[in-house]
Structure 1
Amino acid sequence: MSGGTPSVRERWNALRTATGPVAPDALDALWADLAPVDASSILGSWRGFVFPTGHPVERVLARSRWHGKRFVSLDDAKPLICRADDGGLRSDTAAGRGEASLWNIEFRGEVTATMVYDGMPVFDHFKRVDDTTLLGVMNGKAAAVSAGGHLLYFGLERE
């Protein structure tokens, strides 16, 4: 920490370990300070978690036992890897209305890795916290993703 200003990593850690509601404004500010990431650099399996902002999709993901995302290739992305009843992992194509693909798309004035859902007007944009950690934000048609004017923020940690 220099001059009393927390680093990006310190801010991430504070938000990641918060037990109560996280202010969407704090996540917006962190997003603005992170570097964009190229879609081809995030291939692989990622464990996910949602920042507790009160967004209604948080409850949907909890009910589905969301585990994370898997990016097999740019044309083969699995947005909803969920825990099955037997404890194994499965791609929940019903809840996700199909699967997805990865693109580099402009969001908030920067081109960054973006997962485009096949069956919904939804985009998950990603920025790099470090080589094994991403901040994601769900964007799309307002009715599909917005809650009280704020978007769903989530984190991904490389498995």
Structure 2
Amino acid sequence: MDPCEARTRFQVLRETRGKVEAAELDAVWAGLDTVRPEEILGEWKGGEFDTGHPLNGMLEKAGWYGKTFTSAHDVKPLVCRDAEGELYSNVELSQGEASLWTVEFRGEPTATMVYDGRPVLDHFKRVDDHTLMGIMNGKGIPEDGPYYYFYLHRVAEAEAEGRRSGQDA
């Protein structure tokens, strides 16, 4: 699958209501381009693919909004909403924060978020200039998964500014 086909298939799978097969997501992943840590700095809003993974639905229950990559060594992996709707870095759930590195995954070096307090890695590939596909991997997970599949959409500058001033877009 070439990158154009992978982007098209990604959009179809992202809009799918219900379960998505991990094998389909793996095929999309294989067709996407890698990304470097400095290319993904900024604020990102997240979502997940329902593959039946044990984590499916858990982040939503925690109020997960997305991730913020301020710099390679200043990453907020679990930005959540509190009861009042305010965003905060949930360091309790993530057991700290994180950093960005280039790590080889499935034979390709790509931007990877490394959690400070958990043996967990989030690998990223570029869908387009505003969208990333992620695969969560970690210690004790077999080479072929099961993985947790998710996506991030870059928060537009106007939305980010409004959110910071208390006017969520």
Regarding TM over 0.5, the answer is: yes
Match of 2:79? 81
Match of 1:93? 91
Match of 2:151 among 144, 151, 155: 155
Matches within 5 A, 1:107-118: 107-118=105-116
Question: Structure 1 residue 17: deviation in Å?
Answer: 0.3
Match of 2:43 among 42, 45, 59: 45
Question: Structure 1 residue 57: deviation in Å?
Answer: 1.2
Aligned 8 A contact 2:7 2:28 in 1: no
How far, CA to CA, are the matches of 2:145 and 2:30 in structure 1?
18
What residue ranges of structure 1 are gaps of 5+ in the alignment?
Answer: 1-5
SS of residue matched to 1:81: strand
Percent identical residues: 52
Match of 2:130? 132
Q: TM-score, normalised by structure 2?
A: 0.86
Number of positions where the alignment pairs a residue of Structure 1 with one of Structure 2: 151
How far, CA to CA, are the matches of 2:13 and 2:75 in structure 1?
27
How far, CA to CA, are the matches of 1:33 and 1:9 in structure 2?
8
How far, CA to CA, are the matches of 1:90 and 1:58 in structure 2?
21
SS of residue matched to 1:134: strand
The superposition leaves residues 93-125 of structure 1 with CA deviations (integer Å, 9 ceiling, x where unpaired) of: 000000000001111000000000000000000
SS of residue matched to 1:77: strand
How far, CA to CA, are the matches of 2:140 and 2:25 in structure 1?
19
Q: Alpha carbon RMSD of aligned pairs, Å? A: 1.4
What residue ranges of structure 2 are gaps of 5+ in the alignment?
Answer: 156-169
How far, CA to CA, are the matches of 1:64 and 1:158 in structure 2?
21
